[in-house]
Amino acid sequence: MQTRTRAVRLLALAAVLAMVVCCLPLQAFAAGEDTRQVGLNFYDEVNGAAAGEGSLTVAADATCVNTSQIAPPAGYELVNAGDLPIVDGWVYVAVRPSVPAEKQVVLNFYDEVNGQQVEERTITVSADATSVSTGSITLPEGYEFTEVGDLPIRDGYVYVGVKPAAPVEKQVGLNIYDIVNGQQVEERTITVAADAICVNTGSITLPEGYEFTEVGDLPIRDGWVYVEVKPVEKKPVDPEQPDGGQSGSGSGSGTTAMVQTTSNEKTLPRTGGAGTVAGGALGLSGAIGAAVYAFVIRRRIG
């Protein structure tokens, strides 16, 4: 009996609690007694389409929402700034697609000399850019600009006129020709500046045993340089000085030289040079002549 009475009491208490809960406003559970929830209706005014919905907690007596409290959907920005009115629990928020800070443009490299496209490449520029400076463009290898400065952006493309770059160097052939014997000695290739019109003999290494017939600047004609050479003349060897006189003392030096005889005899010293010997011979002849002259005079006097 007591158990049944207790159950009846519990059921009555539950019914009372349910009635109390149903009588409370929903806002009391959602945000507390001093606040309420309002809806945000985001509308894209550029494209004329809904951009999304959101919600925001405001004061219970609020009549408007400041845009500083509203975060627009990704990819959008607010059209207006300031207080937006709350109408029937909703706030109309005008938005538009946000302007990107950058954009992509395509570079169209075109070889104006050969009339063909060289390359296409995409670069990033500021969103409001209307042109691209050639100073910010890296050219394909082997090309140079036909004009420099600001190149306009048209429909997302930039036309870049280019031409093959002028080479810095070039190859020329050396035709080394022996004009004495009437035959070619050698052909060789050398590297010179691209604008060179001649080659100086000082920069040419000749084949061994040859020398230039003329020195100076030799003209480049049709990629070739004609180099006239002749065999180096061999000087005759002095039998008495087979080494060219390098070991001798030189004339009139007054130093002692050693003369080697043709046999195995001892080497005798010889002082003085050829001038000294000639001077001695002349002195001896003069002395003999003076003695003869004195002898003749004495005979006549006697």
Q: Are residues 219 and 192 in the same domain?
A: yes
Q: Are residues 175 and 149 in the same domain?
A: no
Residue 218 within a domain: yes
Residue 176 within a domain: yes
Q: Are residues 39 and 85 in the same domain?
A: yes
Q: Are residues 160 and 198 in the same domain?
A: no
Which pLDDT belongs to residue 264?
Answer: 45
Distances (CA, A) of 263 to 127, 171, 245, 260, 266: 106, 62, 21, 8, 9
Residue 2 within a domain: no
Domain boundary among 190, 209, 231: 231
Residue 14 within a domain: no
- Across 268-281, average pLDDT: 46
Provide the domain count of the chain. 3
Q: Is the pLDDT of residue 106 over 60?
A: yes
Which pLDDT belongs to residue 182?
Answer: 94
Which pLDDT belongs to residue 100?
Answer: 84
The number of residues in the chain equals 302
Distance CA 289, CA 301 (A): 19
Q: Are residues 90 and 38 in the same domain?
A: yes
Interval 162-187: pLDDT, tens: 999 988 899 999 999 999 999 999 99
Distance CA 101, CA 270 (A): 103
Residue 158 within a domain: yes
Residue 263: pLDDT band with limits 50, 70, 90: very low
- Strands 35-44 and 90-97 come out as parallel
Distance CA 269, CA 256 (A): 7
Q: Which residues contact 74 (CB under 8 A, 6 or more apart)?
A: none
Residue 274 within a domain: no
Residue 234: pLDDT band with limits 50, 70, 90: confident
Residue 37 within a domain: yes
Q: Is the pLDDT of residue 134 over 70?
A: yes
Best mean pLDDT range from 5-14, 61-70, 253-262? 61-70
Listed in order, strand segments (DSSP E) in 63-182 are 64-66, 76-78, 83-87, 90-97, 102-111, 116-126, 131-133, 143-145, 150-154, 157-164, 169-178
Q: Are residues 85 and 30 in the same domain?
A: yes
Q: Are residues 72 and 27 in the same domain?
A: yes
Which residues constitute the domain of residue 69? 22-97
Structure tokens at 42: 């985001």
Distance CA 263, CA 128 (A): 106
Residue 259 within a domain: no
Q: Are residues 141 and 113 in the same domain?
A: yes
Which pLDDT belongs to residue 276?
Answer: 47
CATH number of the domain where residue 215 is located = 3.10.20
Per the model's pLDDT, the better-predicted residue between 239 and 178 turns out to be 178
Q: Are residues 184 and 158 in the same domain?
A: no
